Amino acid sequence: MKHLICLLVSLFACPALAESPATRPAPPPVTGIIGAMHVEVEMLEQQLGNRSTETIGGVSFVRGTLRGRKVVVAESGIGKVNAAMAAALLDERYHPSEVLFTGIAGGIADDERPGDIVIATRTAQHDFGLVTDDGFTPDLVADPKTGRKTPIFEEADPRLLALAQGAAEKLVLQEVHSGGVARKPAVRSGVVVSGDVFVASAKRKAELRRDFGADAVEMEGAAVAHVCRAMGVPCLVIRSISDSADAAADTDAAAFAKAAATNSAAIARAIVERIGAGDAAGGNAPGR
């Protein structure tokens, strides 16, 4: 009788029979994907299997499977604060193995056209720093724990960067029609800068190219990369050009946002597929 009672309550009262945390199977890895606007994440959300939605702090997180891998897609809202909040909530609630940021951007390099892809090798906040009579100097604050200055540039996770570059070589991106001509988008790796302003100025565009070596400008990516570094989560920012960050930026962004967002999301989806293939081959996916 004593043995029967112990068996019935073993999960609660018999430590020798209970499963210890060390022996419990680890939960399946999850990839987090963030975009600022609905147009940037809707294609990915629509392709999720077993889809469900959870809202935390006003941010919608859509969970499901993509190419056989568990994925959480978040629509953060525009701007660095919104993006940082979404990244922090994503990490705290879902513990992703890696985070991808996907969306549109203004092109800085002269040869960029709508639909082109910039895979960020590094990101920076172009509006965080010191303003004096001599002008603006990028200068981030010190880490409150270590006292060391936060780096101006956040470096991309090397493995995610390699996965993205490999995926881009084989991926057929959507052609973009401009001026009556259909053009196949180009893909480059380069510097993406972020700030809480929509850049529609040839003057500011030239400054970003000069001061940061920027290839694209947007409003969220560097903030997400900053949070992910602090949380110890591998991160990669992928952007597709919707405009040239000049006087016509507002009009061009509206015209090309859908095509550009589709191409950026296609890269993100291909990365997820390659991460999943790495899991199936024996755990080659990035870890925390």
DSSP state of 45: H
Tokens of 12: 């609660």
Ranking 14-28, 93-107, 126-140 by mean pLDDT, the lowest is 14-28
Confidence band of 95 (pLDDT split at 50, 70, 90) = very high
The pTM of the full predicted model, rounded to 2 decimals, is 0.87
Domains of the chain, each with CATH number or no CATH? 27-281 (3.40.50.1580)
pLDDT at 166 over 70: yes
At 120-158, the pLDDT tens digits run 999 999 999 999 998 889 988 888 888 888 889 999 999
∠34-176-73 over CA atoms, to 5°?
15
- Quick one: which H or E segment has residue 261? helix 249-282
Mean pLDDT, to the nearest integer, of 86-103? 98
Token output for 134: 């001599």
Residues 269 and 283: their CA atoms lie apart, in Å, by 19
Q: What is the mean pLDDT of residues 225-233?
A: 96
Residue with tokens 């992910």: 228
Q: Which of 19, 40, 54, 98 is catalytic?
A: 40
- The amino acid occupying position 157 is D
The C-alpha atoms of residue 239 and residue 117 are separated, in whole angstroms, by 6
Confidence band (pLDDT; 50, 70, 90) for 26?
low
40 catalytic per annotation:
yes
DSSP symbol at 220:
S
CB atoms closer than 10 angstroms to residue 165: 16
